[in-house]
Amino acid sequence: MDALKVLVARRAPAAVLDKLKARFDVDYHDGEAPLPPESLRERLQGKAGAYITGTERITAELLAACADLRAVCTMSVGYNHIDLDACTARGVLVTNTPDVLTETTADLGFALLMATARRMGEGERLLREGRWKSWAWDFLAGADVHGTTLGILGMGRIGQALARRGRFGFGMRIAYHNRSRLPADVEAELGAHYLGKDELLSQADHLVLVLPYTPESHHCIGAAELALMKPTATLVNIARGGIVDEDALAAALRDGRIAAAGLDVFEGEPRINPALLTLPNTVLTPHIGSATMPTRLAMAHLAADNLVAALTGAPPPTPLNPQVLPA
Ligand code: 8YV
């Protein structure tokens, strides 16, 4: 019997590619940039499975044009780029890569919080540009992190990992808002206080966004929400760029309505809203939340393991729509 055909839609680690080649007839796009939608559609013809990353969009139209597709395995925890309902309706299994990136992404979130609160980006730019000439009592004086209130919007796995860092590492008060409240024992362990969204915005000294990107969370931080925040507050986004109205954020940062923002994700990434680039009080990183070698390897292997399982009749480790699997 001929091997099933799969598409690996983006550069992947050699060991992961070998794992897939041992089982399947692999069409490999060895590139750092995503395939344009038209090429993705063409190269998915006749493919039973797709190994993708967080950028390739899997739409209902694409699925309709790819009748052989049975599994879409993304090397990301976020899956807003995939029309999950359309996949489920067509019986296409979708998998993602939760858990393996939780701690690494929380580390980056905390690093961004620290760098932003303590004005490290501004300091580094000033030093490298030869502008460090003198000392003043308020020279690059930022905000404290220890002992302050950490607000977390979206209290899933990564939110809880941030809460542990804040509480146990920095003695912070932990406040959160989430679609559903955590069980009482988990709240107690994290010392986490559940607040309404507006209360969270007004009480947080540092607010980290770590909620999923959905039609409901699109621009859920805009001018009205930013107006509720303290003028001394820091905003950190490690979720998805589209959660924040970037024009409203740039205006709030420019007018001192909040103190600073640390952003790892952007609405039009890799294009960046120019207003954010010129503000001194932003720390900007290029979507590197999960970017450590061990974590990226674990994510890539998990995506490949899901694909192998999905197409060989074994239970996939991390399915998003297990209802499409045979009973
Ligand atoms: C991915 C991410 O590296 O997992 C996610 O949802 O945002 C990142 O960890 C990125 O999406 C590329 O797949």
205 CA from centroid of ligand 1 (Å): 27
Averaged over 69-87, what is the pLDDT? 98
Distance CA 66, CA 7 (A): 12
Active site residues: 240, 269, 287
Averaged over 157-165, what is the pLDDT? 98
Which atom of ligand 1 is least distant from the CA of 291?
3
pLDDT tens for each residue of 291-324: 999 999 999 999 999 999 999 999 999 999 999 9
Which atom of ligand 1 is least distant from the CA of 79?
6
- Residue-level pLDDT at 95: 98
- Residue-level pLDDT at 327: 83
Which atom of ligand 1 is least distant from the CA of 97?
4
Question: Is the pLDDT confidence value at 197 over 80?
Answer: yes
Q: Is 234 in the pocket of ligand 1 (CB under 6 A)?
A: no
Averaged over 73-89, what is the pLDDT? 98
Task: Scan for tokens 């359309």, then name that residue.
Answer: 86
pLDDT tens for each residue of 271-293: 999 999 999 999 999 999 999 99
- Indicate the top mutation candidate among 32, 76, 81 to test ligand 1's pocket, ranked by most ligand atoms within 8 A of CB: 76
- Residue-level pLDDT at 11: 97
3-class SS string, the chain: CCCCEEEECCCCCHHHHHHHHCCCEEEECCCCCCCCHHHHHHHCCCCCEEEECCCCCECHHHHHCCCCCCEEEECCCCCCCECHHHHHHCCCEEECCCCCCHHHHHHHHHHHHHHHHCCHHHHHHHHHCCCCCCCCCCCCCCCCCCCCEEEEECCCHHHHHHHHHHHHHHCCEEEEECCCCCCHHHHHHHCEEECCHHHHHHHCCEEEECCCCCCCCCCCECHHHHHHCCCCCEEEECCCHHHECHHHHHHHHHCCCCCEEEECCCCCCCCCCHHHHHCCCEEECCCCCCCCHHHHHHHHHHHHHHHHHHHHCCCCCCECCHHHCCC
Percent of the chain predicted with pLDDT > 70 = 100
Q: Is 101 in the pocket of ligand 1 (CB under 6 A)?
A: yes
In degrees and rounded to multiples of 5, residue 227 shows phi and psi of -65, -20
Q: Is 75 in the pocket of ligand 1 (CB under 6 A)?
A: yes
77 CA from centroid of ligand 1 (Å): 6
290 CA from centroid of ligand 1 (Å): 7
Cut 0.90: pTM above it? yes
Averaged over 169-183, what is the pLDDT? 98
- Indicate the top mutation candidate among 8, 16, 73, 77 to test ligand 1's pocket, ranked by most ligand atoms within 8 A of CB: 77
Which atom of ligand 1 is least distant from the CA of 96?
4
Averaged over 145-163, what is the pLDDT? 98
Closest residue (by CA) to atom 10 of ligand 1? 54
- Residue-level pLDDT at 1: 72
Question: Is the pLDDT confidence value at 193 over 80?
Answer: yes
pLDDT tens for each residue of 8-35: 999 999 999 999 999 999 999 999 999 9
Question: Is the pLDDT confidence value at 214 over 80?
Answer: yes
What is the length of the chain?
327
Averaged over 97-112, what is the pLDDT? 98
283 CA from centroid of ligand 1 (Å): 19
Assess contact for 287 and 137: CB atoms under 8 A.
Answer: no
The distance of Cα 290 from the centroid of its chain, to the nearest Å, equals: 8
| Domains delineated in the chain | 5-99+293-324 (3.40.50.720), 102-284 (3.40.50.720)
- Indicate the top mutation candidate among 74, 96, 287 to test ligand 1's pocket, ranked by most ligand atoms within 8 A of CB: 287
Assess contact for 55 and 81: CB atoms under 8 A.
Answer: yes
Q: Is 76 in the pocket of ligand 1 (CB under 6 A)?
A: yes
